[in-house]
Amino acid sequence: MKQPEPVHVAPAHDDENLALPEVPRPRARTLLAIALTGAGLVTGLFLLGLVPKLHHRAAVREETARSSGAAPRVTVVKAKRLTGAEGFKLPSAVQAFEETTVYARTSGYMKRRLVDLGDVVKEGQLMAELETPEADQERAQAQASLGQAEAALEASKTQAEFSRTSVERYRMLVKASLASQQDVDQKEAQFNADRANVRAVAATVESQRANVRRLDEIKSFARVTAPFAGKVTSRRVELGTLVTAGNGTGQALFKVAQLDPVRVFVNVPQAYAPFIKVGEETTVTVREYEGRAFHGKITRTAGALDPASRTMLCEVQVPNGDGALFPGMFAQVKIARSGAPAPFVVPASALLASAVGTRLAVVGADGHAHLVPVVVGDEYGLDVGIVGGLDGTEDVIKNPGERIAEGVPVTVVDAAPPAH
């Protein structure tokens, strides 16, 4: 039987059977064209979004510059006299009828303190007592010097008496021709000198006595007493504190205030000053006591206007038996009109309050804003009364903003109806 011939199978990793078909390579010009096309497309898209944005920014800058240079647009209102008002109110301040700071008249240490903050004192009442060792030593030294001067005075008087007797004796001897006239003259000169010495020593004695009296008076100042009846509103010293005399560099011990009655000082504008009468009844109110009125009288007026504010200072005395009114309180004083013109009324939003005071912004004939100082009176809802600073012809800016300053040009866009 014939054997079959072996079959030869080619290996699977034969290189000729695994060869890939050849891919054609792109040309360099084609690649460059594609790159330029992509770059142009990106640049176009970028410019398409950037250009409108640049135009918008330029428009915003132009509008900002135009609006910043434009005059502020404002609404003005005419001030109007208030009708039916029974009087006008003015801001005021409460002060004690009398108030003083108590200082020590002598230096020493605080030995006793008999009153404290808030205590009521009577006139002449002992408030504190000082220990004054230095003043005591000075007084003892002065007393000793006085004793020496008095002894010297007695000695000088004795010497003068002896000189007088000698003169008389020598005069008798001259008559008997037992002494010369020159001897008499010498004795008389000695007598005159001794009499002058007596006068000098007597003056020294009086000076020493005055010094002792002065030191006694200084020693009496170690007792600190109340200058008048009132209340202790401040106490600034403790036991054992070294106290220096005087009110310059010295330490204040107490502050005493008389609180019944109290003084209420009010500055009355020029328009109302001629109508103020001493003795006229007034009503004082404070916000802390809503619904309560304190009645007082005008007791004094300055009789002249302050050139800076064109106001006249007036004093109102108000009984304060229960101590409800404290010095330093802000209050409102209502004064009857008595023929005085009624206050002007403007919107409360027109007020400009600052450190220099309350002002209103008005539009002048030149079209510029001007800040006018005013005196504010009572409140009437959304409006306030102006009792000083206006004459009724001003165009008041209703809502002045931060851009409204002195001399700023403004544009009036609307004229609101007068308040009230």
216-226 pLDDT, tens per residue? 888 888 899 99
In degrees, rounded to 5, the angle at the alpha carbon of residue 375 between the alpha carbons of residues 373 and 381 is 115
209 token code pair: 């006595």
Cα 73 to Cα 410: distance, rounded to the nearest angstrom: 6
Cβ-contact 76, 346 below 8 angstroms: no
307 token code pair: 């050139």
Cβ-contact 77, 394 below 8 angstroms: no
Cα 281 to Cα 60: distance, rounded to the nearest angstrom: 64
Is 241's pLDDT higher than 70?
A: yes
Is 114's pLDDT higher than 70?
A: yes
Report the DSSP beta bridge partners of residue 126.
225
The DSSP bridge pattern shows strands 411-416 and 73-78 to be parallel
Q: What is the pLDDT of residue 82?
A: 74
Q: pTM to 2 decimals?
A: 0.56
Average pLDDT over residues 220-240: 89
Which amino acid is present at 378? Answer: D
Cα 335 to Cα 342: distance, rounded to the nearest angstrom: 12
Cα 385 to Cα 360: distance, rounded to the nearest angstrom: 12
Q: Pick the residue with more confidence: 238 or 69?
A: 238
Q: Given pLDDT bands bounded at 50, 70 and 90, which one contains residue 294? A: very high
Q: What is the pLDDT of residue 48?
A: 64
Is 262's pLDDT higher than 90?
A: yes
Among 19-28, 78-87, 127-136, name the one with the lowest average pLDDT.
Answer: 19-28
Burial of 150 (0-12, 13-18, 19+ CB in 10 A): middle
Cα 415 to Cα 78: distance, rounded to the nearest angstrom: 8
Cβ-contact 112, 357 below 8 angstroms: no
Consecutive H or E run containing 389: none
Cα 184 to Cα 181: distance, rounded to the nearest angstrom: 5
Cα 102 to Cα 232: distance, rounded to the nearest angstrom: 10
